[in-house]
Amino acid sequence: MEARASARYVLISPRKARQVTQLIKGKPLDEALNVLRFTPKKAARLVEKVVRSAAANAEANHDMDADELYVSAAYVDEGPRLKRIRPRARGRADRYEKRMSHITVVLKERQ
């Protein structure tokens, strides 16, 4: 049995969020939350919310024991991009893109 949670359209680049998800793959739930709590990156806060949501889903919907949970998968997919324009000298404009991510965390129970 597995419990999953996802956060979609999160305003952070997928490359930055993947750095954080690599830290928690395969770790027990309490250890993963400790790692995220002390990681000094914006993505750590966002991934922590998704991990806590997946843990709540596991307990409420699937009657899983929180002490036996571990992060079996954590991945980040690319979402849509917001195209924006930055004014430049002499009336010109440069285009830049704000990237979004879809963060997904899957928890399983140890046998």
Strands 93-109, 69-87: pairing kind: antiparallel
Helices (H), 1-111: 14-24, 29-37, 42-62
User: Any residues with CB less than 8 A from the CB of 39 and at least 6 apart, and which?
Assistant: 20, 23
Q: Residue 29 is part of a domain; what is its CATH number?
A: 3.90.470.10
Give residue-wise pLDDT tens across range 36-51: 999 999 999 999 999 9
pLDDT at residue 111 in the model: 79
Residue 14 confidence (pLDDT) above 90: yes
pTM: 0.89
Q: Which domain holds residue 90?
A: 2-109
Give residue-wise pLDDT tens across range 73-104: 999 999 999 999 999 999 999 999 999 999 99
pLDDT at residue 36 in the model: 95
pLDDT at residue 23 in the model: 94
In total, how many domains does the chain have?
A: 1
Token readout for 75 is 């991945």
Q: What average pLDDT does this structure show over 53-59? A: 94
Residue 1 confidence (pLDDT) above 90: no
Total length of the chain: 111
